[in-house]
Structure 1
Amino acid sequence: MLQEHVLFLDAEALVLDKPAGLPVDRPRDGALSLDNHLASLTFGFRRWPVAVHRLDRDTSGCLLLSRNPRAHARFQQAFEAGMVEKRYVAILDGVPGAAEGMVDLPLAKVSSAAHGWRMRGDPKGKAARTHWRLLGENDGRALVEFRPETGRTHQIRVHALEGLGAAVTGDPFYGRADSGGMMLHALSLSVPRAGKEPVAAEAPWPARFAALGFDRG
């Protein structure tokens, strides 16, 4: 039950610690998705909550859902205006050559019969910027904090690979799939609201990170 994963709840918003492996949208393979759990997340409201943004299937952590249409529109505007503070952590298959920086690499979608679709850096693509900071190293891998300014599809995953030269550990698209899953976690989220306290939440540290020797600092 996802009720145990709720991090924030009021009349406008619900923030969920989305488990890794749970798709936000219904997948073509017929697997269970967030939609299968929405009826259990009404908490007394007639309307089901609606996801305001997306996290990749294998990414865990903070996911914002709206509880009414007006709030949904305001939250979407906040995302589009770049007002939402998002903080991710990832384990990379390699160590960046610096302690911190920003990847400014536009992204475009490409597809092929052999590999399907994916994102890649392209000067003609949509603007994408991600601030990053090295948090730790262990056994040739790095724990990195990412703060994206924009919200492009697969942004952090591509910026890690093409901008920092190291794929996210367990990334089945841009790196090497691993039985432990993909090591990307939406650690915190903060959404400003006029005249109200922001919607703010922080997700627990994922056990799969600790299993690779990266406990929270």
Structure 2
Amino acid sequence: MSVENRIISEDEADLRLDRWFRRHYPNLTQGALQKLCRKGQVRVDGKRVQANHRLFPGQTVRVPPLPDQSRPAPPPPPDPNLTRRIESMILYQDDQLIVLNKPSGLATQGGPGIHEHIDMMLDGLRPPGGDRPRLVHRIDRDTSGLLLLARTPGIAAKLAAAFRSRSVEKTYWAIVVGRPMPGDGVIDQPLAKVGAGGAALVVPADRRDEDAQSAKSAYETLDAAGKRFSWLALSPLTGRTHQLRVHCESLGTPILGDPRYGAKTPHPTGFAKRLHLHARTLTFPHPAGGTLSVTAPLPKHMVDTFRMLGFVVQAAPKPKRIS
């Protein structure tokens, strides 16, 4: 292998040198890279640098001959069946990102007892010679709706920063058992995790509890079927695990079909035993400029429930990007 001179792209702006190497040469250890830097074999624009050096677009990284094992093996071809499945979920895509409408029951990532998940399908969306798309955030396995993917690591970093800065507006729709009083407001209820692994539960916590995490959710009642069921619009103002599910339960109106946080409420006869929580709308700064808003159609089990309760839902609008 000969010396390579690689140009830093706009997408790689502000990456540390060691993270840049980890991306392109994932089997090269941190110790080996630091040794190459000390010897001056790795340089940026011809200058000696340390492994934590920040990179800028247009700079040239000198990559010396590396051991063969520092080159990643080519990825195996994607499973065509998984590729067809994830392609059927696409609501919007462009050169920077992809928005999926994830079905209820499909996990976002793997874990104990999970054999199929979105993450294992992402190779099917990799363009020839390009990057594998990256998950920007997650939603619960039983929750349906919008899931945002970035096409490159740099775009993933920008979108993740938008989530951290709360520049992303998220609206969920839920059918709950009962009618919240008052009909709209903000739930300010700290949460804490109890237990570990798959048996862990998130529970309301006292503010003085050292394990308590601040959690706030806005809610609005969009319609109601008497006092038995309500259709809520929910907006998480913080991002805690199972936040909306626990907050709805804390109102005394658990989400219909919730097997974990609605178990104390008998499941009403005639309704699907599936979680009625749907990530309906995402509005966020597009990495290329402007704002993108995407709305996901309801899953079939929620369409059926809306029809049974007499709730009228108009067709989801097409994705809209405002410059």
Would you call these one fold, judging by a TM-score over 0.5? yes
- 1:6-25 matches, within 5 Å, as 6-25=90-109
User: Contact 2:107–2:114 (CA<8 Å) still a contact in 1?
Assistant: no
Deviates more, 1:188-197 or 1:79-88: 188-197
- 1:147-186 matches, within 5 Å, as 147-162=235-250, 164-176=251-263, 179-186=272-279
Q: Give the helix-richer structure, 1 or 2.
A: 2
Provide the residue aligned with 2:141 in structure 1.
57
Provide the residue aligned with 1:136 in structure 2.
223
Give the SS at the match of 2:294: strand
1:101 equivalent among 185, 190, 208? 185
Matched AA of 2:105 = G
What is the distance in 2 between the residues matched to 1:55 and 1:30? Answer: 15
What is the distance in 1 between the residues matched to 2:147 and 2:89? Answer: 10
Query: Which gives a bigger RCO, structure 1 or 2 (Cα 8 Å, sep 6+)?
Result: 1
- Residues 75-108 of structure 1, C-alpha deviations (whole Å, 9 max, x = no match): 1111111111000000111111222111011111
Q: Give the strand-richer structure, 1 or 2.
A: 1
Matched AA of 2:243 = Q
Provide the residue aligned with 1:116 in structure 2.
199
In the alignment, is residue 79 of structure 1 matched against residue 172 of structure 2? no
Deviates more, 1:204-213 or 1:191-200: 191-200
Aligned residues: 215
Give the SS at the match of 2:200: strand
- With over 3 angstroms needed to count, the CA separation of the structure-2 counterparts of 1:46 and 1:129, relative to structure 1, is same
User: Contact 2:105–2:142 (CA<8 Å) still a contact in 1?
Assistant: yes
Matched AA of 1:169 = L
What is the distance in 2 between the residues matched to 1:194 and 1:39? Answer: 22
User: Contact 2:119–2:135 (CA<8 Å) still a contact in 1?
Assistant: no
- Residues 134-161 of structure 1, C-alpha deviations (whole Å, 9 max, x = no match): 0112261111000111111101001101
Largest Rg, 1 or 2: 2
1:29 equivalent among 87, 98, 113? 113
User: Contact 2:159–2:287 (CA<8 Å) still a contact in 1?
Assistant: no
Aligned alpha-carbon RMSD (Å): 2.1
TM-score, normalising length: structure 2: 0.62
